[in-house]
Structure 1
């Protein structure tokens, strides 16, 4: 429908008309066999097509135009961008013959001046798409080769050119299309010999705070926590940004990933964001450690939060779903009463007992 409407507008423009009424477009569509009068279901695609033409710069609503509810909210009158139809701003089909099929040139066909500005870049992308033997580079390395700016793809807000927007306009090209991969900031970790040698599921413990991490490192290295094969320093919110680094140390999605942080709104939110960001990985709360905390310290003695934290109901419900009903209710009460239990409740004196309980 969009192409039909575009042709109607162009023919109207050729009659030296600078504005066009929606009812005229509807009438012309009817003569072409698309009858909005008798088929109300066409109202939505009609409005979508009109909006796309507005987005493409073909039409612009007049200042005194009105919405037409029966046509999905289209305006009743538009001005025509005459320059859009000028031949020097339309790419000829012959210029596109040698381009890779993955390059969607529909945007640049309509914005030839932008194409000419980016022609070298587009052809560099085209060469990469055709090169089946190209090495896989990091996103920043590939970005520099294409755009002359290493931040253009992943961090366009800090770059001299918005490479991300250009890739979007070319049909939403991905890093994989460009023979590139995203890299992740490394996290601090401790891997045991079991982590490297076991073929079955391994136990990975993600610890939010540094002091608790050091306590667990000592216990693992001293053989007190034999069922932990990999320790990861979560570093609070940073874990969501860094967790993808697990691929670099051969972590498997089917391994057991236990998250252990503070019992407070932020701790539960970090867990939920991590699990949501990496849904392919088997990430669950370290139930045995949280339960041990609650049994060691009377939850009634949980301290008031030092400063308010926003409670996310979804994060809470997703977190406590891993626990038995009674323990889940205790955690929920701590959160909603604006109190907290830090993971530092567990210290060096608890390690031997935790070895007997295990991480699960």
Structure 2
């Protein structure tokens, strides 16, 4: 690498003569002096005269200003011109550095407007919309100030994204009628729980992907995996006692639905193992739907990169997908399918 490249790669705007000598790896002062003067003549360095000279012969200044070439924004300007016209293209053309700051967010919104604008006609929860627009269900929450900045700069408000928040606290929702077998659907994540609850309340329907669901239960992450927690809930809130071997008096079945990653699969097995007297199964129809929807989107990296696996063959067998290879592949790549991929619009279609 040329000495000039090494200097220009330095993140600082000024650099001392001692730091320069370390970068150059030149112990001979005369040779070092020659190189510094060459960079000054080449316009890479400019002496900070107020820093005074270093007292050596021939002298160098104690500090130099690094003269970095102006950035070439040609590629950036072309990207800005391809944004959806609803966005502030003129503003970004004048401030390409701001576009670079907003890049992930404004490009996600632009793609959404070009290819999926109809999805804005119906609401989604905040996390569902975040995944739908940016492929990361927690991005909006984690970068809310920056998302708001992007929206404001593009003369849009949060209502533009047509979302709803999922307020605390939530625990359960009972459909008013059930006949015969009672199905309790345990949902791992809050937004998905709230979306199904909202749709069931608004429409009076309760058949999800062909299965009648009588109770929606928010699993609250690890809370549902505490030993006996679901058994206690079943006995005290549903009046249903479990029996050894997973047989439940009162004909109640528990279905589980969560993220498709190692942690989500482990949560299912931990929930089942913590409540051995209950019949707990994965909700296979929704897991199959997640895999189908995932074929058309770029999946995010799993937040859980600990490398702790789960009994995948047994899980796939329970879901009825023993030969499924796509899930094996994405788990091996450290990716996952968040259950927010089953967003409001998707849920509305499968609720009958």
Range of TM-score over shorter length: 0.3 to 0.5
User: With CA pairs under 8 Å and 6+ residues apart, which has the higher RCO, 1 or 2?
Assistant: 2
